Structure 1
């Protein structure tokens, strides 16, 4: 009997330990893990631990049963909550699928418009995935609808790019034909005919759309080389200074000296000086440096006037560009356009950086000196960007 009582005592201690562990599981965060461990505890209770004294047997079992019921109840409640949560996720995903399925691409005509649509659809895709995960049995039907809506969009996108690829091949043929014309004209000495023809094919080139990217740089290099070869010869033959040209040089040198001595001036007198300079006639190529000297003097006179920043900048720019157009320096005009575009890109990047920096001051007051400084600089860049845009618009209006 002593051995049996000792055995009952040890069994009771082990079963009380199991009850204590079950009570801990009843409060555990992960209900599923708690339920799995509870099964193990029941197995140990039944198979590994023997009986306890008869007078406490029912009481011990009732305690274990009660805590077991707690865990079962929590598990059932968890599954009810999950079922409700899954339905919320399904509803959210179906709403996103509906938006994706209704997404209208019928007005997309350009790569830029399609790029914007692709970004929009990618955002919807991310919303779908971020809405939450579902068990396979519940997700399959929603997933098939999502795939169908995505496929619908991709089919429209692929159709556009297939057509665009065909159009780019046609553009490639057109540009290759222009290269052949440029190659045939680059050694011509029929200056009037060849110059007009070269100007026309340069204009045609600009109006032909994109070609496949892998050919773009190569054909542009060939076309540019043929055009440059011709215009280099054209300008070279024009460089021989005639008697009449020498008179223009002398007149412009004398006029330049009078401007240098100018003390008082107005916007009207500056514009009149520019007009007079043009009327004196074009300079031979080898004395074009006089144009630069004249432009510096005009810049000096304009800066001395009480005009706003944009007006001064545009007057200087128009003076230089009109001079390049008058001397038919088309290469410099193209370079000027590239330069203006580059400056616009630089200004936009600077503005974006400053606007990003403002994010670091989200909690700062509006009158914070640092915030005010950044905002002022953003406004300055906006003014600069508008000036560069105005310059680009002016260049695009030129007929050359």
Structure 2
């Protein structure tokens, strides 16, 4: 390679033609940044803010965080790989998508083959997903609490969509890393190709071929140079210096005719002039980051354009450099302003963290005070969400401090309510014992003794503290119902017991007279219905004085059975009717409920025994078929089965009679 001294001699007319002059505002964030550097250190400031934004969006109330969700939500997509985007614009709006639609969208993006161009959409889906996720959890928590649940016991349901999101996000990062590795390999290959082109241009200087052939080869090499992709940033400046040097050599040593050279210079001048105008138009662009990105592309194009005449070389370069300086200045001022705002945000977040830390030191001993402090903390969390990003180096630290303070507060609150819950559970056991004691005496007829006992229980009830809200009404209603049941019975007993029994006696005597006077008609169903109505009315009348009870019951059964016997009913109907009379007789005695239940239980036991016998007989039939004289045995067993089934049917009818009598009494 030629020395710098040789280059100055040969290219003395074009210093700084395709490279910035030293001493200007030419920084790694400005002129040297090209399309090939958009994935490297030039965009650190943009990446810093951008990754903070991703993390900040995922902040939810600390009490609801799961470690796994927080890790995914705060993952910075570009921390360990190049970033192809410069601006802070957003991709498609996914806030209206359902979780299922978001999974479909991220799947299509990851499988699209455009892994280096989908970052903003990936971030948009992630942010929208966790906002929707938080909304769903808040809804489930509210339903849990409204249903009587304790807030501290709430656990968010498992979400398969979140696992799918994480899987696609991991696949995206893997594909992106692979693509970047391929790109780096491609850049190295491109570098080798361009170095080879430089060497080929050098050989053209000493070529003895026809001028037109040589010039066509040169133009072909230039075309191939432009078609080759990007190269590693570290080799960019040296590469272009060597390229421009050999191009200048070609123009000078090959001694192109003046007209062709002037035409080439004119074309290059017009192209660079157009770039100056386009760059100046960027000053009116309100999107500072976007204009800075576009300027980097213009610098790449500037390098590709050939030289201009010496007289305008410095002028046009100064014009391009001036607009570059202004755009760089706007870009730097923009991020300086953001840093100032981020510093203010950091101070605000530190202040909130300190206030919450102070709250964790308070000695709170009442439910009312905990509610008050919890509401204050929720307001602090809302304020936190409304504050913008802090500087990247401090953002994670202050967030960890904020979250630890919130976790400490809620841990202390859970401890308080855990102790309160244990106390309330003890109170509930004590009150349930009082309920059982009250229920044990609610049917007592020892009026004075039971009254004193219930009053004592009521005093003890008031002395016991509160119980869990979800059981409070139920336990109180149970205790009150037991007390009320006794005192209602007591009042009724002393007010109208004797009078009511006498009135019932008069009504039953009148009903007996009505039964005796009853003349059956021609319709047997109608006659049977009338007799059933007599039975129903008898039960509805109620008790009579004990000394008249057996006498009047005998008169009633005699009168009613006389009419039933007169009806030409089937034997099964008669049996069922007699059974109804039997149950009615049982119900007229003391402890009738117990005796009726006992009768019903006997019927059920008999049915179970018959079912077991039927099952055994049916199994035995299979064995009889293998023995001599099997037909007779089978007939005998089948007859037993039919008789058992018939008896079961009759028993079920009797159970329905008992159940029907109970419904009538109620």
Interval of TM-score (by shorter of Structure 1 and Structure 2): 0.5 to 0.7
Moved more, 153-162 or 78-87: 78-87
Name stretches of at least 5 consecutive residues in structure 1 with no aligned partner: 244-400
Shift of 1:135: 4.4
1:50 paired residue among 300, 306, 309: 306
Are 2:333 and 1:77 aligned? yes
TM-score, structure 2 length as denominator? 0.34
Matches within 5 A, 1:378-389: none
Of the three residues 71, 89, 95, the one matched with 2:345 is 89
1:33 to partner: Cα distance: 2.3
What aligned pairs does 1:335-354 form with structure 2 within 5 A after superposition?
none
* 1:33 equivalent in alignment to 2:290: yes
1:11 deviates by 3.1
Q: Taking structure 1 as reference, are residues 17 and 195 closer, same or farther at Cα in structure 2, changes over 3 Å only?
A: farther
Counterpart in 2 of 1:347?
none
- Give CA deviations for 1:162-192 in whole Å, capped at 9, x if unaligned: 1011111111111111111111120122223
- For residues 278 and 465 of structure 2, the distance between their equivalents in structure 1, rounded to whole angstroms, comes to 76
Change (3 A) 1:167 1:22: same
Change (3 A) 1:241 1:72: same
2:449 to 190, 193, 209: 193
Structure 1 residues 37 and 138, CA gap change in structure 2 (3 angstroms): farther
Distance 2:424 2:469 in 1: 9
TM-superposed deviation, 1:66: 0.5
Q: 2:418, 2:397 → 1: CA distance?
A: 31
Residue 279 (structure 2) aligned to one of 11, 18, 22: 22
CA-CA distance at 1:155 after TM superposition: 2.2
The alpha carbon displacement at 1:214 in A equals: 4.2
The structure richer in helix per residue is 1
So what's the TM-score if we normalise by structure 1?
0.55
* Residue 398 of structure 2: aligned partner: 142
Q: Report what 2:480 is aligned to.
A: 224
- C-alpha contact (below 8 Å) 2:343/2:391 kept by paired residues: no
Contact residue 360 and residue 405 of structure 2 kept, 8 A: no
Structure 1 residues 4 and 183: CA distance shift in structure 2, 3 A: same
1:209 aligns with 2:465: yes
Q: What residue in structure 2 maps to residue 353 of structure 1? A: none
Decide whether aligned partners of structure 1 residues 200 and 30 sit closer, same or farther in structure 2, where only a CA change above 3 A counts.
farther
Contact 1:183-1:226 at 8 Å conserved across structures: yes
User: Are the structure 2 counterparts of residues 26 and 207 from structure 1 closer, same or farther at C-alpha, using a change threshold of 3 Å?
Assistant: farther
Separation in 2, partners of 1:202, 1:157: 33
Contact 1:105 1:156 in 2 (8 A): no
Question: Do the aligned partners of 2:356 and 2:377 also contact (CA within 8 Å) in 1?
Answer: yes
Partner Cα separation in structure 2 for residue 138 and residue 105 of structure 1: 25
Query: What does 1:309-348 correspond to in 2, within 5 Å?
Result: none
Report the counterpart of residue 23 of structure 2 in structure 1.
none
User: What is the deviation of 1:140?
Assistant: 1.8
Higher relative contact order (CA closer than 8 Å, sequence separation 6+): 2
Q: How far does residue 226 in structure 1 lie from its aligned partner after superposition?
A: 1.6
**Aligned pair 1:115/2:355, yes or no?**
no
| Counterpart selection for 1:175 from 431, 435, 450 | 431
The answer for the alignment partner of 1:249 in structure 2 is none
Matched ranges for 1:287-302 at <5 A: none
Residues 75 and 236 from structure 1, CA distance in 2 versus in 1: closer, same or farther, beyond 3 angstroms?
A: same
The verdict on how the C-alpha distance between 1:84 and 1:136 changes in structure 2, with shifts beyond 3 A counting, is: closer
